[in-house]
Amino acid sequence: MKLLVANWKENPIMLEDALTLAKQVDHQEVVICPPHIFTAAISKVLKKASTGAQDGFYEPHGPFTGYVSMAQLAAVGVKHVIIGHSERRALGEEETVIARKIAAAFEAGLTPIVCIGETAEEHKQGKVKEVVDRQVRSAFSLLPAGSVATSREAIICYEPVWAISTNQVPGMETADTPEQAQTVARYLEGIVRGMPVTSRFIYGGSVNQENLAAFLICPEFSGVLVGGASLRVPEFKKMIKIAEHILM
C-alpha cells in the first residue's frame, strides 16, 4: 500500500471529534497530522497509523513563546512532521528557517515531510524546475556533507501551490497535473541523488477519491498528502481502499 498523509490543518475543534476521526481511519501506511494540541492523545489511541505534526520549531527548548519543538513532538509519539507547507511559506516562512527545521527534525528522530512547489505565476513563467531545485537544495543545505544517507529518510511532497483547492486558478485544475508532476519528480530524483539523505516522493494538491489513483499509479510517487478529503471519513476510507490495491 502507498502512503496517505492526512493533514487536518486547523480541524476539528474538539478533542472528542479528533479522537473519533482518528480511530475511524486508523490504518497501516496512514499518517495522521492533527493540530498540535491533539497529537499526544491521538498517538495513544492509534493502533496501526502513525501520528504526524503539521509543523515544529528548530530549537529543542528555551524562551520561544508559542512554539513546539521537534523533541517535544517526538516525546509524545509523533513520527513525522510536515515542514515548509505552502500555507506556512505564504505567511512568510523563509527557506533558511525551513532548512533549520529539517535539521532539527532529523536530530529528534522524526521523518520530515518536506513540501515544495511553485505558485501559479511561477508555473506560467516556466520556472517550475528552477523553483523546486532551489527549494530542495535549500531544504537539505544544513545536513552534514558526507554523512550516512541511510540514517536520514525524508519524504518530499511536490505540492504545486496553484493546485491546492483554496488557490486554484481557472484552467489549472489538479486533474491536469499527473504527467507534469511525474516530470518534476524525475527531475528531483536527480537533484537529491548526491545529498546525504534518502528520499521518497509524494504528491499533494487537492487530492481526493476521484483523482487519487491517477497519482498513485505513478511509479515516482510513494503516496500523497491529503488535505480536506482526510476530514471526510467515508471519502478517506475509500481512498485507503484505493491505496491498498496499488503496489509500491
Q: How far apart are the first and last CA of the chain?
A: 6
In whole angstroms, how far apart are CA 117 and each of 172, 195, 199, 222?
A: 14, 19, 16, 17
Contacts of 90 (CB under 8 A, 6+ apart): none
Q: Is 37 exposed, middle or buried (0-12, 13-18, 19+ CB in 10 A)?
A: exposed
The secondary structure of residue 112, as a DSSP letter, is E
The catalytic residue among 27, 80, 85, 123 is 85
Question: Within 13 Å and on the Cβ side, how many CA atoms surround 207?
Answer: 32
Q: Within a 10 A sphere around the Cβ of 131, how many other Cβ atoms?
A: 19
In whole angstroms, how far apart are CA 23 and each of 18, 30, 32?
A: 9, 12, 10
Whether 85 is catalytic is: yes
Are 5 and 227 in contact, with CB atoms under 8 Å apart? no
Residue entry with cell 509524545: 76
Crossing angle between the packed helical segments 128-139 and 95-107, to the nearest 10 degrees: 40
Are 1 and 220 in contact, with CB atoms under 8 Å apart? no
The catalytic residue among 29, 87, 118, 159 is 159
CA–CA separation, 16 vs 41, rounded Å? 10
Tabulate helix, strand, coil % of the chain (nearest 5): 45, 20, 35
Q: Which residues are catalytic?
A: 85, 159
